[in-house]
Amino acid sequence: MNTIMTEKNAAYLNDNAIFPLKSRLNSAPRTAPDTLRGFHTNDWEKCIGCGTCGEICPTDAIRMVERLDLPLVAGAHQQRPVIDYGRCCFCALCVDTCTTESLKMSKEYIYSNTDPDQFLLMPEETWQGRRVEQGYVKTETTDLLDLKRVEMEHLTPKERINSYIEVVRGYSKEVARQEAARCVECGVCTTSCPVQMHIPQYIKSIWEDDIEGALRQVYETNPLPGVCGRVCTHNCEAACAIAVRGEAIAIRWLKRYIIDSAPNDMYELIFNEPVSEVIDAKIAIVGSGPSSLAAAYYLRALGYGVDVFEERPRAGGVMSYGAPQYRLPDDAVNKDIDFIKRIGVNIHTSTRVGTDITLEELEKKYDAVFLGTGFFKARKLNIPGSDNQDVIGAMDFLPIARDFARGLIKLDDINVGKSAVVIGGGDVAFDVARNLIRIQTMKYGQADVKLTSLESFDILPASMEEYTEGMEEGIQFHFGFGPQEIILKNDKVEGLKVYKCTSVYDQDGKFNPQFDPTKGAFLEGEQVYMSIGQAPDLDYIPESLKSVIKIERGKLNTNSLGQVEGADWLFAGGDIKMGPDIITAVADGHRAAQGIDEYLYGKAKKKATSEYYNELRNAIKFNTPDLALKPKKH
Amino acid sequence: MRQMKLFLGPQHPGMHGNASVHLFVDGDIIKRSYLLPGMLHRGFEKAMERKLWVNNISLIPRVCVPEPDINEMAYAQGAEKLLKLEIPERAHWIRMIMLELARISAHLMSYGGLGGPTGHYTLMYHAHADRNSILDIFEKISGARVYHQYIVIGGVRQDLPKGIEKDINAFLDDLESRYIEYRDLGIENPSVIARIKDTIMLPEEVVWELGVTGIGMRSAVGKPYDLRKVMPYARYDQVEFEVPTSTYSDARSRVDIKLKELVQSISIIRQCLKKMPEGPVRVKPSRGQSMRWKVPKGYVYSPVESSRGEFGYYMVSDGGINPYRIGVRGASYPQGLLGIEKYMPGTRIDDCALWVDTMGICSPEIDR
Amino acid sequence: MTNSMSNVEFVKALIIQHVRPHVIDIIDQHQIGFEVDQNEIHLLLLALKNAGWIQMSYLSAIDWPGENKFEVVYVLFNWDKPVYVQLRTKIDRTNPVIDSIIQIYPGAKYYERECHEFFGIAFPGNPDHHKQLILEQWDDIPPLRKDFDPKAYSDRKFPQRTYTEDYSLSNSESTKVEKRKLRKQRAESLKGGKKQ
């Protein structure tokens, strides 16, 4: 043997050998085998502070400590694990369950210190300041997490394109519990949710088959869970700890499962006592979209009288007139809205503020007014030919398609041609295109829909699901082209001329599309649909009011709780405050309820209240959402 | 008649583990004796109820210190019986290799333990040096020397590392080549024979009265009553091995059986390494992350043949995420408690430590 | 292996011949469990011992506080007809008494003693069953009962260990940990209804 284990011994023998050495002795400490479970190392860049290691540790050796020097982003907590080596038994279960593979074990196994206080150590990338060799690491066999989602049944493309049946079938109890069993209860999803729902807790309630508890937990922060369970933009799933190395927990579908499995009488258990008007103050709400209904719900639960004014025959806003029937059927919207009505919110449909009743009257009759009128006007591109009757804005078409889907318009009466070109790359453009596929298939037996957008595929704003499902349904895509002119012949639309779009944003990140006229195309179509954004209709705001408040690009200037600057009795939420999606609208509604309560509670007369009411008030105010965190920039 | 009270252990070079035997002696002869267990009582059965099914893996090897793998095997086997889970083929063979290596290491330690009471320390050092090589192999396979935490519900935690067959075969060849030397050091050594021949008898009626299993039973009853043959678990029915027995049970025949079993274990491991198929080594008990795994309701007794006898876990589940009750049947519980009380009196003080050694008493599994 | 199934059937037939068990539970070809009444235990143990089940492997108890019962379990084995027989019986929890079986299986003496120490079950007929065996100077209720909390006991008896440096970098004004804990408490207080 010509390797001695310590340098000291090798040096001694080399210098003092009694017999002649054939070659100099080397020293190489005994290295442990590759699977050794030694001291831990943790890569702080990868670690998200989920705390799963602390939960599984059998000896309670791992604790999470708060570190405010870490960035505050969605998908991570500002905490890191600390290990008490007096308790650690080196079982490596923490490494096996680490969601990001940041926690590993090294080949180091010797640590000694005379001070027992020095045995609480914080694993970092180095051990005692030195880079060390990796020992035990997680492999696919040892992984204790379930990285693949349980399959969700969808309708096949053939079944989809000639009907408005809901595409996503929904979970059964068995499957929902299996999917809920994948959650590690870390809570990073909550920080990225605009309303900070109690996501890990309601997933656990599903797993424990406690639908009643789950329903209460969901309604604490979101009075439109059936809708969100189908069309939410699910920031939570993007932030999910399991999504780092696998597929995120299907949080949106689990929420839908709770609502679908809750029978109507279970809703009576959400509040321990019936909600009633205990504060002598009334609030008028303009519009019945998600932000309005959320504000109405929370104000009613806080004890105010609430009147909602909706210009269309049905309540719901974009939920009833924008999102397509095959993704958000009427039954789901009605279930949510019915509960809000049952707790005492008065919704006056077919009543337009500005004509049937004016905003000045509302200001006089009510103690506060909330505006949630949304962006319902279609925007059209100003290119030649765009004033033809067969050039249609998305927001003009979608309500008609919705009324058709619910049977209020007959197939013969709907103005849809044999072929169409859809301009736009967002989710709304896909809604338009997929509606057209269905209507054309029903009317003509086949569909011909082309979709073109400035953005190329890699920066397409629409979600991956919409693209995949749209492709299965037969949309033809032309990404990266900019519309130039609508070609007419005898006052009928023939198609759309487009040039190749070389870039959408300039160096400063501003919207400044550049085109290459030498590379163009002509997209044939009997109709052209423009889905390039929507605009608000603020005609109902009188000039006298418009002069004291600020409106920029259709959005009202408000403080963080939605109180309009210049008119403290006026609040706003939803798309006319900031947007961009339904769940942010719900958050706006909750924040506005908080703001209105702060504005009115001190001044108004109050009836005697029960202890439960006080607890409910505190809970609603405690749950007022903060602004959601943005994910880390890579 | 004056009786003096002496304490054998807990600190005694010939004592196994931390248990104390209280002896009342008259001159040289023990008149009354009883074991005082409890110094190694760590409250395992209660602690196991408070952890999840997946967490318990870190607690259970520590029940029996010289041979931890039998604990993991009994626990995993019991839960798999309740789950009605089929584990992959390769996992069964790897489990057998681990169990047999553990058996060899426990036998070596116990045979070396013969050296303590008789003063033959060379035997002890040789045995422990060889045991050390086994622990090195365990370290390569599972990542830790003594408490492996390797056999889990659903198979084994990870596959064997590449090249481990060479290491195992080299070790087995080396051990087998020195088998005769081991016999010469201990059981064929006249000064040891004088202490263990025709002493510390274990007649057949006593076996059935106390409920002794393992080597003690096989040395007295003369039949191959070994769980690996009678009720084969893992893939013991697909390897060939003999179960040595005898009908005259003195200390020497029990030590002799121990050595013969060691040779049989070597042969089993060699067969396993040859017959082992390729494939996955682990299957997860159900979907979901590990802290939410549940085991269906049931009561099951899961026995394993350890080096000292029948070692069993009685597991009760109520369908939840924690075990409801786990009761551990230590293999040497009968001999340790009732045996010492009833059958040690009459022997001499010098034989006391040998009594404890050759009956195969291991105190951690009595105390838990 | 062809005889194994009939071994289990043999046991089942033997037991049914004498009593009507509450539960019969065949786990696999080598294990079968029965739940019977307290007064049938001796009869069945004798019958099994005479039929060849001469080894007593295990004796212990399980605590069912919900039903207010202890369940005493006896595990027997027969090396010639290899089947493990579990005999279980439920006894009253407030005053648990069951006759000792040391006349049938002398080896049960220490198992019963341990059972008394950890559960509080009395075994009349076993002369030393009340003597302390494993727990020295125990001053609390029998520890394997479900209402004994080992953590509370340990906190009472032994000093807590704390470390001076915990590596945290927090600021009491903006601590997120507190807020998360409060939210979690609030959400969990809303649970109710059916438990799994």
Amino acid at position C92, single letter? D
A230 touches chain C (CB under 8 A): no
Task: Please provide the DSSP assignment of C67-115 as one string.
Answer: TTEEEEEEEEE-SSS--EEEEEEEEESSS-B----TTT-TTHHHHHHHH
Cα(C150)–Cα(C140) distance, integer angstroms: 10
- Contacts across the A-C interface (CB distance below 8 Å): 91
Among A273, A340, A332, A337, which residue's Cα sits nearest to residue A306?
Answer: A340
Peptide bond into B10 cis (omega under 30): yes
Among B357, B332, B35, which residue's Cα sits nearest to residue B212?
Answer: B332
Residue range A166-187: mean pLDDT, rounded: 88
Q: Tell me what pLDDT residue C3 has.
A: 52
B158 touches chain A (CB under 8 A): yes
- pLDDT bucket at C174, cuts 50 / 70 / 90: low
Among B31, B63, B186, B166, which residue's Cα sits nearest to residue B119?
Answer: B186
* Residue from the list A36, A93, A97 with its beta carbon closest to the beta carbon of B143: A36
- Average pLDDT, whole number, for chain C? 85
Q: Tell me what pLDDT residue C193 has.
A: 60
- pLDDT bucket at B80, cuts 50 / 70 / 90: very high
Residue B346 reports pLDDT greater than 90: no
The CATH class given to the A31-121 domain equals alpha beta
pLDDT tens per residue across span B83-127? 998 999 999 999 999 999 999 999 998 888 888 788 888 988 999
- Average pLDDT, whole number, for chain B? 88
pLDDT tens per residue across span C122-154? 999 888 878 888 888 888 888 889 988 988 988
Where do the structural domains in chain C lie, given as residue ranges?
A: 2-157
Amino acid at position C50, single letter? N
* Residues in A touching B52 (Cβ below 8 Å): 56
List residues of chain A with CB under 8 Å from any CB of chain B.
32-37, 55-56, 58-59, 89-93, 96-97, 135-136, 139, 141-142, 144-146, 150, 178, 180-184, 207
Interface partners of B (3+ CB pairs, < 8 Å)? Answer: A, C
pLDDT tens per residue across span A265-312? 888 888 888 888 888 888 999 999 899 999 999 999 888 889 999 989
Nearest C-alpha in B relative to A53: B291
State what percent of residues in chain A have pLDDT above 90.
14
Cα(A251)–Cα(A214) distance, integer angstroms: 13
Among A255, A17, A35, which residue's Cα sits nearest to residue A135?
Answer: A35
* Residue from the list A66, A82, A84 with its beta carbon closest to the beta carbon of C177: A66
**What is the ipTM for the molecules in this complex?**
0.87
CATH for C2-157 (3.40.50.880, 3.90.850.10, 3.30.460.80, 3.30.300.30): 3.30.460.80
* Residues in A touching B144 (Cβ below 8 Å): 36-37, 90
Strands B29-36 and B325-329: unpaired
Coil, strand or helix at A471? helix
- Tell me if C166 and A120 make a contact (CB, 8 A cut-off): yes
Among A452, A434, A453, which residue's Cα sits nearest to residue A442?
Answer: A434
A65 touches chain C (CB under 8 A): yes
Coil, strand or helix at A193? coil
- Tell me if B281 and A139 make a contact (CB, 8 A cut-off): no
pLDDT tens per residue across span C183-192? 888 888 888 7
Cα(C130)–Cα(C142) distance, integer angstroms: 12
A209 touches chain C (CB under 8 A): yes
Residue range A2-6: mean pLDDT, rounded: 61
- pLDDT bucket at B313, cuts 50 / 70 / 90: very high
Site from B289, B293, B294, B321 to mutate, A interface, most A CB atoms within 10 angstroms: B289
Backbone angles phi, psi at A392, to 5 degrees: -120, 135
- Tell me if C106 and B300 make a contact (CB, 8 A cut-off): no
How close A171 gets to chain B, by Cα (Å)? Answer: 15
Site from B231, B328, B333, B367 to mutate, C interface, most C CB atoms within 10 angstroms: B231
Cα(B331)–Cα(A85) distance, integer angstroms: 32
C167 touches chain A (CB under 8 A): yes
- Tell me if B161 and A34 make a contact (CB, 8 A cut-off): yes
Instruction: Answer for the pair A464, A506: CB distance below 8 angstroms, yes or no.
Output: no
A82 touches chain C (CB under 8 A): yes
Cα(C15)–Cα(C24) distance, integer angstroms: 10
Residue C196 reports pLDDT greater than 60: no
Please, which residues have CB within 8 angstroms of residue C148's CB and are 6 or more apart in sequence?
A: B46, C140, C141, C142
Instruction: Answer for the pair C24, C34: CB distance below 8 angstroms, yes or no.
Output: yes
- Tell me if A135 and B143 make a contact (CB, 8 A cut-off): yes
* Residues in C touching A207 (Cβ below 8 Å): 196
CA A435 to chain centre: 23
How close B334 gets to chain A, by Cα (Å)? Answer: 31
Q: Tell me what pLDDT residue B101 has.
A: 92
Q: Tell me what pLDDT residue B36 has.
A: 85
Q: Tell me what pLDDT residue A633 has.
A: 59
What ranges in chain B are assigned the alpha helix state H? 44-49, 69-83, 89-112, 115-118, 121-142, 164-177, 179-185, 190-196, 204-210, 215-221, 227-230, 251-275, 333-334, 340-343, 349-358, 363-367
Cα(A570)–Cα(A604) distance, integer angstroms: 17
Peptide bond into A580 cis (omega under 30): yes
Write out the E strands in A56-200.
62-66, 79-84, 103-105, 120-121
Q: Tell me what pLDDT residue C132 has.
A: 83
Q: Tell me what pLDDT residue B309 has.
A: 87
Task: Please provide the DSSP assignment of C27-41 as one string.
Answer: EETTEEEEEE-GGGH
Site from A88, A113, A201 to mutate, C interface, most C CB atoms within 10 angstroms: A201
* Residue from the list B41, B299, B333 with its beta carbon closest to the beta carbon of C25: B299
Cα(C10)–Cα(C33) distance, integer angstroms: 13
* Residues in B touching A180 (Cβ below 8 Å): 288
- pLDDT bucket at A604, cuts 50 / 70 / 90: confident
- Tell me if C168 and A187 make a contact (CB, 8 A cut-off): no
Cα(B324)–Cα(B322) distance, integer angstroms: 6
Cα(A210)–Cα(A206) distance, integer angstroms: 6
B55 touches chain A (CB under 8 A): yes
B281 touches chain A (CB under 8 A): yes
Where do the structural domains in chain A lie, given as residue ranges?
A: 31-121, 157-269, 284-369+539-574+585-601, 377-534
Cα(A623)–Cα(A613) distance, integer angstroms: 15
pLDDT tens per residue across span B200-254? 888 888 888 888 888 888 888 888 888 888 888 888 988 898 899 888 888 888 8
Sheet of A62-66: strands edge to edge? A62-66, A79-84, A120-121
* Residue from the list C62, C86, C111 with its beta carbon closest to the beta carbon of B325: C62
Please, which residues have CB within 8 angstroms of residue B81's CB and are 6 or more apart in sequence?
A: B298, B300, B302, C27, C28, C31
Cα(B40)–Cα(B336) distance, integer angstroms: 14
What ranges in A131-193 are assigned the alpha helix state H? 157-161, 173-180, 188-192
Please, which residues have CB within 8 angstroms of residue A586's CB and are 6 or more apart in sequence?
A: A194, A195, A222, A223, A224, A228, A290, A291, A294
Among C91, C90, C96, which residue's Cα sits nearest to residue C123?
Answer: C96
Coil, strand or helix at B21? strand
- pLDDT bucket at A380, cuts 50 / 70 / 90: confident
Topology given in CATH for the domain delimited by A284-369+539-574+585-601: FAD/NAD(P)-binding domain (3.50.50)
Q: Tell me what pLDDT residue C173 has.
A: 66
Fold agreement between A31-121 and A284-369+539-574+585-601: no
* Residue from the list B52, B159, B287 with its beta carbon closest to the beta carbon of A141: B159
pLDDT tens per residue across span A516-571? 888 888 888 888 888 888 888 888 888 888 888 888 888 888 888 888 888 888 89
Residue range A373-380: mean pLDDT, rounded: 84
How close C179 gets to chain B, by Cα (Å)? Answer: 25
B279 touches chain C (CB under 8 A): no
- pLDDT bucket at A4, cuts 50 / 70 / 90: low
More confident residue, B12 or A478: A478
How close A318 gets to chain C, by Cα (Å)? Answer: 30
Among A106, A137, A145, A103, which residue's Cα sits nearest to residue A245?
Answer: A145
Q: Tell me what pLDDT residue C1 has.
A: 44
- Tell me if C58 and B314 make a contact (CB, 8 A cut-off): yes
Q: Tell me what pLDDT residue A148 has.
A: 87
pLDDT tens per residue across span A479-497? 888 888 888 888 888 888 8
State what percent of residues in chain C have pLDDT above 90.
10
Q: Is B4-367 CATH 1.10.645.10?
A: yes
Which H/E stretch holds residue A585?
Answer: helix A582-600
pLDDT tens per residue across span A247-268? 989 999 999 999 999 888 888 8
Coil, strand or helix at A285? strand
Half-sphere exposure of C5 (CA within 13 A, CB side): 1
Q: Tell me what pLDDT residue B119 has.
A: 83
Structure tokens at A73: 């982003």
Q: Is A377-534 CATH 3.50.50.60?
A: yes
pLDDT tens per residue across span B25-55? 888 888 888 888 888 888 888 999 999 999 8
- Contacts across the A-B interface (CB distance below 8 Å): 86
Topology given in CATH for the domain delimited by A157-269: Fumarate Reductase Iron-sulfur Protein; Chain B, domain 2 (1.10.1060)
CA B275 to chain centre: 25
